[in-house]
Amino acid sequence: MRFIQIDKEQADVPVVKNVIYALGLVWRADKRLMIGYFMQEVFGNVFVWFVQNILFLKVLLEIITGSRDFGMYCRCLLIFAVLSVLDKIVTWSGMRIEKRATKNVLKNINNMIFEKAQSLDVSCYEDPSFYDKYQRATLVATSGYFDIITYDFVSMLSGIISLICVLFTVSSINPEYLLFLVPIFLVFIIETAKSKYVYKRDLEMTTNNRVKAYIQRTVFLRDYAKDLRTSNIFSVLMSRFEGAIEANIVILKKYGVGLFVYSMISSLFEEFILVIGTYAYAGYEFVSKGNMSVSGFSVVLSSVSSVRDVTLEITQCFDEMNQMALYFQNLKDFFDYEPKIVSGDKKAGKFESLEFKNVSFRYPSAQKNSLSNVSFRLNKGETLAVVGINGAGKSTLLKLMLRFYDATEGEVLYNGVNVREYDLATYRNAFATVFQDYKNFALSVYENVMCKPCTDDEKRLAAQALKDSGAWRKISTLSNGGDTVLTKEFDENGAGLSGGENQKVSTARLFARDFEVAVLDEPSSALDPVAESEMYDSLARVTEGKTVIYISHRLSSATLADMIIVLDGGRIIESGTHGELMALGGKYSEMFSLQASNYSNEEAENDEN
């Protein structure tokens, strides 16, 4: 199991800038979250650590020793009671504000993440390192890190205010005691180093955690249930799962000793020097030198306790903020990502032609081209079939056509203009596409077809599209017809469709919209020969006069095409009409004859059954 390599950029992130960045996002999402925590923490902590533990104690001891009269005590007691009630009111109000704001912040931040994800290049989804970064970015929101860093910032701020008040009181008794507090500031340096150390550990565990999450998700998905129960693949997955756990254990052991050393050094400066040193010197002044009053001695000891508690609170908050800031670097990188596929300014007009001119393409991490010197032209109203075996480059051709990627060499022209010059939204909107890895969602059938909430008129349009795709025979038998939700994930009355039925529903999206060019990528991969023939008859009817591109390794669609190009190894090895290629007796003729005989055998078996 591989570990993630830590580079200098990841290990030396700007902590302070990231804290400011995170707090800025929170403030923009809903400023009430910070206000609510401020009301809870600042007033309450100053009241407990300073007013209650030190000032009130000092007044009480001065009265006992005769330095102040009882009237002063009564007045102080009244003020204390008023402040106590006020503390409860402010804390309760702040809690209400904070609870309401927390949900709003998480909603707004998640929306920002979703919107950014929509703008990413398709290539990001084919890059494993992107998933690592995306997982760490979404972890910031799903784990409530925004809430934590806001609480820690306000809590640390309240601790600093309390600490200043306590130090001012101690210095008024004897400034020499401030010397024992100097080591406390070293704790912050130690905790900063410790936070980065923890971050390195967690970063190395990210891929292992992603493997664990994938396997945990897979064993519960319906799509994998049959394969898991009829093969040995479950043992392979469990082996990977156990390997990820073992790899994480190795990482934890690797960093365990270092974290222990950090904690011990931090405790030494945080408690031993502070508490033992102050107590010893205060005892020396009180007993041996006799120049300290009882009230002063008690206040110093109480102050030391408060300083220790406040420092511990500040240190913990500072430590957590450092860790959160490191995680926020991933979110910042995610938001700062600039798509490589940049939209142009021109609006894509009505389709006239699409041309590939000497196009070659190589994926970023690949050693060789997926397409090499591909050239062809498609004019309005023509039908093109792109055929070839799996891995021939058909899907890559589609990605360049829709500008999910840009050509490495050569150019793709729409109406004679390089596609890079067009506005992405208007350009892609010219194509109605059915992908081979079709997906339907846990929404109603009508919503899956129209891709939006449907009016009654839109439902009628969706129903007709379902009839054209051949899906309506099944959909009409469902309890709520086209209003039935697909899958039972969120609705116990939902419907589960077969692979072929799901593909028909997905294909219905094409029939439900107006388009310039129809692109069908393996549109019948899940259909039997009869259903496939019916679908192509419907496609031929609906797309009459339209420009259509079929991309398939199944050649039944090729007979409908005005032009066929045959891809092999990323190159066009044959092109022409069906009749021309059959007469040529090359690769296409061989593939077509083989598939035709397979279809004949399947139909014969169906007749016998």
- Residue 217: pLDDT above 80? no
What is the per-residue pLDDT for 572?
Answer: 94
What is the per-residue pLDDT for 288?
Answer: 61
Structurally, the chain folds into a number of domains equal to 3
Q: Is residue 246 part of a domain?
A: yes
Average pLDDT, the chain: 79
Q: Is residue 3 part of a domain?
A: no
Residues 528 and 386 in one domain: yes
Q: Is residue 547 part of a domain?
A: yes
Position 524 confidence tier, pLDDT thresholds 50, 70, 90? low
What is the per-residue pLDDT for 103?
Answer: 85
Backbone angles phi, psi at 239, to 5 degrees: -65, -40
- Of 129-138, 198-207, 573-582, give the range with the top mean pLDDT: 573-582
Residues 310 and 451 in one domain: no
- Domain stop point among 303, 336, 369: 336
Residues 449 and 585 in one domain: no
Q: Is residue 2 part of a domain?
A: no
What is the per-residue pLDDT for 552?
Answer: 77
Residues 587 and 450 in one domain: no
CATH of the domain at 53: 1.20.1560.10
Give the contacts of 605 (CB within 8 A, at least 6 positions apart): none
Residues 362 and 302 in one domain: no
- Domain stop point among 302, 336, 370: 336
CA distance to 268, 282, 303, 307, 472, per residue, from 300 (Å): 20, 7, 5, 10, 83
Interval 304-346: pLDDT, tens: 666 767 777 777 787 778 777 767 887 888 888 888 888 899 9
Position 417 confidence tier, pLDDT thresholds 50, 70, 90? very high
Compute the distance between CA of residue 221 and CA of residue 223 in angstroms, rounded to an integer: 5
Output the CA torsion sign for 138, 144, 150, 152. Answer: negative
Compute the distance between CA of residue 137 and CA of residue 554 in angstroms, rounded to an integer: 41
- Residue 206: pLDDT above 70? yes
Q: Is residue 382 part of a domain?
A: yes
Position 302 confidence tier, pLDDT thresholds 50, 70, 90? low
Mean of pLDDT values over 75-97: 81
Q: Higher confidence at residue 594 or residue 221?
A: 594
Q: Is residue 435 part of a domain?
A: no
Residues 182 and 315 in one domain: yes
Residues 159 and 239 in one domain: yes
Interval 594-608: pLDDT, tens: 876 655 554 444 444
- Domain stop point among 274, 305, 336: 336
- Let me know: does 574 contact 586? Beta carbons within 8 Å: yes
Q: Is residue 385 part of a domain?
A: yes
- Let me know: does 94 contact 40? Beta carbons within 8 Å: yes
Answering whether pTM is above 0.95, one says no
Which residues are 434's β-sheet partners?
Answer: 520
Lowest mean pLDDT: which of 112-126, 220-234, 241-255, 505-519? Answer: 220-234
What is the per-residue pLDDT for 5?
Answer: 39
Residues 425 and 444 in one domain: no
**Closest listed residue to residue 506, CA positions, set 566, 466, 460, 548:** 466
Angle formed at CA 469 by CA 467 and CA 471, multiple of 5 degrees: 65
Mean of pLDDT values over 8-20: 68
Give the distance between the most distant pair of CA atoms in the chain: 119
Mean of pLDDT values over 355-383: 91
CA atoms within 13 A on the CB side of 74: 3
Residues 489 and 529 in one domain: no
**Closest listed residue to residue 325, CA positions, set 135, 198, 189, 160:** 198
Backbone angles phi, psi at 594, to 5 degrees: -65, -45
- Of 275-279, 335-339, 429-433, 524-528, give the range with the top mean pLDDT: 429-433
Residues 222 and 154 in one domain: yes
- Let me know: does 434 contact 504? Beta carbons within 8 Å: no
- Residue 567: pLDDT above 90? yes
Full domain range(s) for residue 554: 341-430+515-609
CA distance to 41, 228, 563, 566, per residue, from 581 (Å): 79, 43, 10, 10
Residues 73 and 196 in one domain: yes
What is the per-residue pLDDT for 503?
Answer: 78
Residues 310 and 450 in one domain: no
**Closest listed residue to residue 547, CA positions, set 525, 533, 562, 567:** 562
What per-residue string of b and e applies to 121-142 under the rule 16 or more CB within 10 Å gives b? bebbeeeeebbbbbbbbbbbbe
**Closest listed residue to residue 363, CA positions, set 126, 33, 26, 557:** 126
Backbone angles phi, psi at 491, to 5 degrees: -145, 120
In the chain, the percentage of residues whose pLDDT exceeds 90 is 13
Compute the distance between CA of residue 381 and CA of residue 352 in angstroms, rounded to an integer: 9
Instruction: Determine the 3-state secondary structure of 571 from DSSP.
Output: strand
- Of 122-136, 233-247, 350-364, give the range with the top mean pLDDT: 350-364
What is the per-residue pLDDT for 470?
Answer: 81
Mean of pLDDT values over 461-480: 86
Give the contacts of 156 (CB within 8 A, at least 6 positions apart): 313, 314, 317, 318, 321
Q: Higher confidence at residue 405 or residue 506?
A: 405
